[in-house]
Structures are given as C-alpha cells and as structure tokens.
Amino acid sequence: MPVHFPTAASDLAGLVALVPRDRLDGPGLGEWTLRELIGHTTRAISTVTAYLELPEPPAATVHSASEYLEVVLRQRGDDEAILLRGRAAGAELGDDLVSEVEALGIEAAAAVDAAGPDRLVTVGSGPEPVAMRLDEYLRTRVFELTVHGINIADAAGVAWAPAPAHVLDALHLAAANASARGMGVEALRSLTGRRPETGLDGVMRAGR
C-alpha cells in the first residue's frame, strides 16, 4: 500500500493552517491541549530528520511497520514521557505554527530523499533502540500523521481528510496491531457492522 511521507507532512501543515488560534489552548487529546497535540504530531516529522542524522545501524532488528507498532509502542511505550515530549514540542512551535510545521516537513523530506528507502535507521534511544528500513519507518510516521491529523481536525472543529492511500495503510496497520494484541476478531466484528453501536452497521451492507 503506497504512502508518501512528504505529502503527509505537507498535509499536516495545511491542516494546522485551518486551526483557529483561539482553539490552541483548548482540549486536544487526553491531557494535551490542541497545541500540544499538534506538537506531538510534528514529532512524526522531526524524528525522521533526527534519526537520519545518526550513523546507519549494521542490521535491522524490526522488519516491518506493523512489528514496530507492536514492539515499540506496546512493549516499550512510556506514556508519561510521550506526554511530556508532546508538551515540549508544542511549546517549541512558537507563534507561527504553520511556518514551523512547513519547515520541519521540508527538512525531513530532503533528508528522506537523500537517504533512499533501503537505508536503515536507528529508532528511539536508551538501552534498547531498534533498527529498521527507512521505508517501513516512514509508514509508521504516515500512520501517526494520519491518525493524529484526524484527532487535530476533530478537536479544532474543522473539515479535513487525509489522503485515501494513507487512510487505507493506517487501517491495515491498525488491524495488524489489533490482531497481534488478540483483538482481531472484535475489530473485524466492528468493521463488518456486527457492533452497530460503533456506527459502522452499514459498512458491509449490499449496495454500498
């Protein structure tokens, strides 16, 4: 499923341009304000640049985007650290959020273009960082930009939709992660309308 990281990064800047400034200090997601949620989301861009500045690791230890989501986010995730990094990133965006997000995207896109899809990257820090191919890591970044882009649009009350290919790949990764966590059957029930309370009861209906 093709995804295009530079497009996803550019789309985030376009979304941020739609956000009313008087909503930035209001609710975003969980404990984040909207500004902090945007800050967290920009880390899906800035980390690409940062990791490509590191030496290339000798071998991959994580082999796919879905494995990354399972291993890194589930087994190694630190919710408090993620919360604080999002707050810091939101503050660092300053007053001109759109220009800052655009600049981050341009820098990351240039780094990706120079590196090539086969390049290995070291992801994370601490005693157990992982190494993976850049193209698979970028799928996880597009996943973050897609999911949190929707969160931002909902919190800001603006109309916005990610690229269809990015939505499709995000659905694929989310389904793979649900299956890895033993919740694949329940996810399939929801997506095929067997849980009407989710609002998806007509998804698989004939004639749709």
Query: What local confidence, expressed as pLDDT, does residue 203 receive?
Result: 65
pLDDT tens, 146-178? 999 999 999 999 999 999 999 999 999 999 989
Domain carrying residue 85: 5-163
Q: Which of 101, 106, 103 is nearest to 6 (CA)?
A: 106
- CATH number for position 55: 1.20.120.450
Residue 182 lies in a domain: no
Residue 23 lies in a domain: yes
Residue 204 lies in a domain: no
Query: What local confidence, expressed as pLDDT, does residue 206 receive?
Result: 54
Residue 44 lies in a domain: yes
Count of structural domains within the chain: 1
Angle of helix 97-115 relative to helix 34-52, nearest 10 degrees, comes to 20
Task: Per-residue pLDDT tens, the chain, 208 aa: give them.
Answer: 589 999 999 999 999 999 999 999 999 999 999 999 999 999 999 999 999 999 999 999 999 999 998 887 666 657 788 899 999 999 999 999 999 999 999 999 999 999 999 999 999 876 678 999 999 999 999 999 999 999 999 999 999 999 999 999 999 999 998 988 888 999 888 888 777 777 666 566 655 4
Model pTM score: 0.92
Query: What local confidence, expressed as pLDDT, does residue 200 receive?
Result: 67
Query: What local confidence, expressed as pLDDT, does residue 71 receive?
Result: 80
Query: What local confidence, expressed as pLDDT, does residue 129 receive?
Result: 80
